[in-house]
Amino acid sequence: MSVRQSLLAILDQGPCYGYQLRAEFDRRTGSTWPLNVGQIYNTLDRLERDGLVEKGDVDDQGHVYWQITDAGAAEVRSWLDSPVERGQGTRDELAIKLAVAATLPGVEVADIIQTQRRASLAQLQELNRAKYAGENPDGPEELAWSLVVDSMIFAAEAEVRWLDHSEQRLAMHPDHAMALALSTEKPRRGRPALRQAQGPVAGPVEAPGSLR
């Protein structure tokens, strides 16, 4: 999630002060990715340092309005025109947890999967309830929020499918045949090379933030 580019894109519509930027970000994302004011101002300071925004007018209440520069507007256009790059590795806690658990002797991975599946299905139900709770489904704010929620729903559905798939694969290895004992080989210094995935990797995606 790029807070930096999102704030720049909002400023491309006109000058805003810090609290106003946070409110505009919330309007456009349905508060599914809550930002605190400190994060807003830290980002603005970095954007100013990089020459992408600058301080403008100050109103009677002392609000400093930030405005985008030409370089900032160019970065917004580049961001909107470019695809989001996905990393080759993963830091998803669930995927790592299950991978490690599958190699530990005496661990019932099926129980871990069942526990997670219940939690994932509960989250999916909550997301679906939230999706249909909107008062004005055709309004711009509701539409923007529903796009984020739809992404979270698809991610939750994919997570459940991945859990089902993992359960089927692990069932093919009775008596925990995947268990790994601690290696007696001394590892070399440095980071190990990253294994290249064959094609796109389908895995669970953690849903950002919280619901409204």
Please tell me whether residues 44 and 97 are part of one structural domain: no
Please tell me whether residues 118 and 171 are part of one structural domain: yes
Q: Specify the number of domains making up the chain.
A: 2
Q: Does any domain span residue 133? A: yes
Render pLDDT for 8-60 as a digit per residue (tens, 0 to 9): 999 999 999 999 999 999 888 877 788 888 999 999 999 999 999 999 999 99
Residue 155 exposure: Cα atoms within 13 Å on the Cβ side:
15
Question: Does residue 68 come out as left (phi exceeding 0), alpha (psi in the -120 to 50 range) or beta?
Answer: beta
Render pLDDT for 190-205 as a digit per residue (tens, 0 to 9): 666 666 555 444 444 4
Q: Does any domain span residue 190? A: no
**The pLDDT of residue 107 is above 90:** no
CATH of the domain at 30: 1.10.10.10
Please tell me whether residues 116 and 142 are part of one structural domain: yes
Please tell me whether residues 98 and 77 are part of one structural domain: no
pTM of the model: 0.67
From 81, 112, 135, the end of a domain falls on 81
Residue-level pLDDT at 211 = 53
What would the DSSP string read from start to end of 79-142? HHHSPPPPPSS---HHHHHHHHHTTSTT--HHHHHHHHHHHHHHHHHHHHHHHTT-S-TTSHHH
Please tell me whether residues 61 and 103 are part of one structural domain: no
**The pLDDT of residue 133 is above 80:** no
Please tell me whether residues 99 and 172 are part of one structural domain: yes
Cβ neighbours of residue 68 under 8 Å, at least 6 residues apart?
8, 11, 12, 52, 53, 76
Render pLDDT for 53-62 as a digit per residue (tens, 0 to 9): 999 999 999 9
